[in-house]
Structure 1
């Protein structure tokens, strides 16, 4: 169970990492030293697992102190003891909300891999390798927050800004406030500081801590583990670029759903008769309703001009009237009407030919 207190922890071997041949990494670790965090992040890496379990099981906050009982011994840790043990700065900003906005803005470009300001709601792969590692350090060893370590948060980046931009922080106050949250009942704060708490408990003479164990070597940042970190992140970055290129190539093809959407559905259409045909039918209907039959004088045998569309309509009306008259007239008078009709109908055609 004690292993859960340092499952995501990070410790730093400053002697090893400061001797690296990676200028960017060395500058980042030098910034941690300058900020006053070397004593906290690089203290003796010894863990008392059984004592840690009991400490957190009985821990609480009382009068500003972190208090616990172990084997009948009352353990009290004050902010002053905490600061002295790890040689932490006690002046400067005590709350991240006090971090200057212009410093955060500058840091967004300083840590960027592309040179463009990074997004504070994005992922840490936007940053250079040394700052990706710094992001892990502040997340696992300072703020000790559970969740995705690949995501950038405002809190993580504010802590990074303090280191990168050399903002003076009251690390004693900030880190002790994190410890108080760890022993507060119902707090969502993850438990950590396994090495630091073990070192504090070891300063109490009357306390039996049991057997100690070494902190896992894989969680200690040395020249070797930092090179491994860079190699892993470099490979993951190449895979992300390759994956993005493949995704872009695939996206050029039109999806099946889009092809279907691009083909318009056939609409049922109703064929409409031409206007001239409809108009003619209306005129026929009107003509059929006309009851009186009148004699129409035979047109004069004169040459007429070529018929317009209005003349054609008149001809249709005349034809209908003649047909109606022929149907209602006696049998002996039907033939003249037809003859008269033919004479009139072909008159127009003959006249047109004459022209």
Structure 2
């Protein structure tokens, strides 16, 4: 079960990414850092599998807090504790629908070709991309904590996530022995090497598509 909890998760090794030669990629990750997400996306990548599984089995939302029982001991996390742990901004937009339309338009121009079809990206996520790209202040503490609450609420049918972040929160809880730790899978950590491979593969995909377009291009009729 523990492996299923990290299927949708990834972490960023910012210091490695910033050494990339691809200026566009570096600029994109610099924007993530400037938006206040470095502490959340780039936190220590260690998993306590047994504690993580137990946390999800017993977790719920009560009085606007995420609560659970681990090793027979109650733990609870407020929005303030969550935001403070990962140094997330607590001021700014809390509703992505308020992202200025001109910034959304600019983001579509900047990313639509390179990022491919937006059919695979939810509208809300694209608005987040637009806000980050446009340098808009976002209350990430509230937005990400709301997602955290959805994750532990079965009725919301939100995919399990935040495995590394939850382990950090549990590690900060009093009187918990989390047991043996396990490194987060290296292939799920974004580094200069993994991103370089991603960029190379996407370039190949573009070149392949362009080559196929050349092959099927209609011939001009002889006059």
TM-score when scaled to structure 2?
A: 0.92
State yes or no: 1:214 paired with 2:164: no
Q: Which runs of structure 2 are paired with 1:45-84 in the superposition (5 Å)?
A: 45-84=45-84
1:264 corresponding residue in structure 2: none
- Cα distance, 1:152 vs structure 2: 3.0
Selected match of 1:176 from 145, 150, 154 = 145
Structure 2, unaligned runs of 5 or more: none
Q: Which runs of structure 2 are paired with 1:181-220 in the superposition (5 Å)?
A: 181-220=150-189
SS of match in other structure, 1:43: coil
1:40 corresponding residue in structure 2: 40
Kept in 1: contact 2:8–2:160 (CA 8 A): no
- Cα distance, 1:221 vs structure 2: 1.0
Kept in 2: contact 1:55–1:70 (CA 8 A): yes
Structure 1, unaligned runs of 5 or more: 115-123, 127-148, 251-355
Distance 1:218 1:242 in 2: 30
Distance 1:153 1:210 in 2: 37
1:151 corresponding residue in structure 2: 120
Distance 1:38 1:105 in 2: 25
1:298 corresponding residue in structure 2: none
Distance 1:152 1:246 in 2: 30
Q: Which runs of structure 2 are paired with 1:55-134 in the superposition (5 Å)?
A: 55-113=55-113, 124-125=115-116
- Cα distance, 1:109 vs structure 2: 1.6
Distance 1:59 1:66 in 2: 7
- Cα distance, 1:8 vs structure 2: 2.8
State yes or no: 1:29 paired with 2:29: yes
Distance 1:241 1:49 in 2: 45
TM-score when scaled to structure 1?
A: 0.59
Q: How many residues align?
A: 220
Kept in 2: contact 1:14–1:222 (CA 8 A): yes
Distance 2:55 2:153 in 1: 12
Per the alignment, do residues 98 and 150 of structure 1 end up closer, same or farther by CA in structure 2, a change over 3 Å counting? closer
- Cα distance, 1:185 vs structure 2: 2.1
Output the aligned Cα RMSD: 2.0
- Cα distance, 1:112 vs structure 2: 4.1
Kept in 2: contact 1:125–1:237 (CA 8 A): no
Distance 2:177 2:167 in 1: 12
